[in-house]
Structure 1
Amino acid sequence: MRVKILVTGAAGFIGFFVSKSLLEKGHSVVGLDNINDYYDVGLKYARLEQLGIARSEAEIFGNEMQSSNEPNFSFVRMALEDREGLPHLFEKHAFDTVCNLAAQAGVRYSLENPEAYVDSNLVGFLNILECCRNYGINHLVYASSSSVYGLNEKIPFETTDAVDHPVSLYAATKKSNELLAHAYSHLYGFKSTGLRFFTVYGPWGRPDMAMFLFTDAIRNNRPIKVFNHGKLERDFTYIDDITEAVVRILETSLDRKISPKERYKVYNIGNSKSVKLMEFIMSIEETLGKEAQKEMMPMQPGDVEKTWANVDDLIKDYDYSPNTPIKLGVQRFVDWYLKFYKG
């Protein structure tokens, strides 16, 4: 069943891979991204080039561009906050479903630039919900985050856990997204599915994430900052596993009727395993064949000591559980990094 899907954040890490996978499955995709400068825009344009969108075209705001090598893909540079442009896009395309992966990312950056999180993650998300309401969208799949668990001490994290104690503005905006989606699904009858991603890594990954930061520093003989003196654990989740989960959720809902009880759901998307930070660093060192210079640092504001996803609901509803081993994922990232940054 071929459908037309809007993927926001299409120049971003997860959005790029989800768009690519949907196209490979024969769907029609319209990608949207504002290409902000939170991190190197060159990487964002390079992702789009993989989808057949030239940088010279992607730099233009507002105009929709057709891919040069993907007949079912087009791209428009637009911000979610564009309250006039977004409805026009929905009206033009009559999307079957929406995958909202656009957001201002980063826990620590939210301490420096809180306004960016309000604009994109709150105002922008409300605009998406309004468009879903007004243009007959059957299903909205959107990115939430494991950061919503905040100060929860019960491990592993379950979607039934209370998430009332966020420790960063970023986490608070993601929890707000879940609340807004619940209200709109209840009031207007369309399905919304929130995905709490756990520490996503892999090729084409974000430069502000640990995988990239550590690899780049070790390769270039710079020290790495090891927060909380290395006493951190993360549920590292490989990008292919994230993509498979997102696409499976998008496709499964297309050919079945939605009952009122199914209208609002939240899932953890994680590897169901917590890996010690020092073990993660060791995997990078072994792959690069180089030892890291480590600067032991205190805990950072907005950070948590441990994350670990319970994915029983994902297994039950979609017969899927992410399972890429950390060593394999690290190897694939390093291979890509060395090729992409060969200079």
Structure 2
Amino acid sequence: MKKYLITGAAGFIGSKVVEELLLKNHSVVGIDSLNNYYNPELKKQRLRNIQNSKNNNNWKFIECNIKDAVTLKKIFYDFRPEIVINLAAQAGVRYSIINPNAYIESNLVGFANILEMCRQLKIEHLLYASSSSVYGANRKMPYDENHSVNHPISLYAATKRSNELMAHSYSNLYGLKSTGLRFFTVYGPWGRPDMAPMIFAKSILSREPIKIFNDGKMKRDFTFIDDIVKAVCKCSLKYPESNDKFDYLNPEPSTSFAPHKIFNIGNSSPINLLEFIEILENALGIRAKKTFSPLQSGDVLETFANTKKLKEWINYEPTTNIKNGVKKFADWFLKTGYKY
């Protein structure tokens, strides 16, 4: 058993990670701001799902924004976690264009607060969410952790890359063992309403046209939520160590002389956006009406995760193919998701 603190615990990934940790009999304190970036009722329902799950006596939820350093400090000192998983962040590439301050406050100021608490309490291990968006303008596929990530094309991506650099500095200065996880287009039941699967499903069922950017000439490495959760939980229990063989003349970005590592978590099977829509249409039993638009600012054309390093680290392999995953999502959406 370990004592975990999970930020973003009412979020899509966070809530499922909490359920899995409770299932394994760990003790978990979850925090979340329950902001209104999307329908807070969905977040509250995820919390009710946790409360109804096995071993919920090992669970406590506290409403808190990670930018609130005073409240955050009290939570850390009261609970004294051993492992911290930071999944709280202002999400969304397009929203970062119209509301940049939300990203600075949550993804930079908030994350700095998390790092400080981990330093003060000498936390055993910090896992934090990064994103495939850090690869930015890079067109070399599949994305590898050793590729350049110096050309972000959205503020969201820049904040996520900043998290990686900030965590590395704390690993170097204070010996904080930290692991960054670059998520690739996570989908599934209880997903975010601002992401394509939910937007498309809602429009298809209401017989409204779905907006397809770049004429559908985009690919995404859709990764099912259960595969993400499995990797997060396994990574949380394997702590990075300093690389004694680190080559200072030819530095490798994914490892370090400090106890810090970075991994891709994806399905390693990119799919064309129009093909994804066709699979979703079949699962819902309705054909979509489509409108086509130009590529949006901040969007990348393709994502494709090389997960070889994660396989070597925790023996991770995704087990949910796109058809099975979309079917599970569609079944949930028809039953519950349309409310949100």
The TM tier, using the shorter chain, reads over 0.9
Length-normalised TM-score, structure 1: 0.93
Confirm or deny: 8 A CA contact 1:4 1:95 kept in the other structure: yes
Q: Distance in 2 between matches of 1:39 and 1:238?
A: 21
CA distance in 1, matches of 2:195, 2:310: 25
Tell me if structure 1 keeps the 8 A contact 2:28–2:60.
yes
Does 1:162 pair with 2:148? yes
Question: Residue 23 in 1 paired to residue 22 in 2?
Answer: yes
Aligned pairs for 1:274-289 within 5 A: 274-289=270-285
Cα-to-partner distance string for 1:10-57 (whole Å, 9 max, x where unaligned):
00000000000000000000000001100011100000011128xxxx
Give 1:176's aligned residue. 162
Match of 1:251 among 232, 237, 241: 237
Matches within 5 A, 1:294-309: 294-309=290-305
CA deviations 1:210-240 (Å, max 9, x no partner) are 0111111101111000000000000000000
Q: Tell me the TM-score normalized by structure 2.
A: 0.93
Match of 1:272 in 2: 268
Structure 2: state its 5+ residue gaps: 244-256
Deviation, structure 1 residue 94: 1.2
The more displaced of 111-120 and 319-328 is: 319-328
1:52 aligns to what? 51
What is the 5 A alignment of 1:1-343? 2-52=1-51, 70-253=56-239, 258-259=241-242, 261=257, 263-341=259-337
Q: Which residue of 2 aligns with 1:59?
A: none
Q: Is the 8 A contact 2:84 2:123 kept in 1?
A: yes
Distance 1:217 1:88 in 2: 44
CA distance in 2, matches of 1:218, 1:313: 38
CA 1:143–1:341 in 2, change beyond 3 Å: closer, same or farther? closer
**After TM superposition, which residue ranges in structure 1, 4 or more long, deviate above 3 angstroms?**
257-262
Cα pair distance change 1:146/1:325, threshold 3 Å: same
What percent of counterpart residues are identical? 53
User: 1:342 & 1:110 partners in 2: Cα distance?
Assistant: 26
Q: Unpaired segments of 5 or more residues in structure 1?
A: 54-66
Instruction: For residue 251 of structure 1, report the CA deviation from its aligned partner.
Output: 2.1
The structural deviation recorded for 1:342 is 6.6
- Give the C-alpha shift of residue 273 in structure 1: 1.2
Following the alignment from structure 2 to structure 1, what is the Cα–Cα distance between the partners of residues 325 and 51? Answer: 26
CA distance in 2, matches of 1:240, 1:180: 28
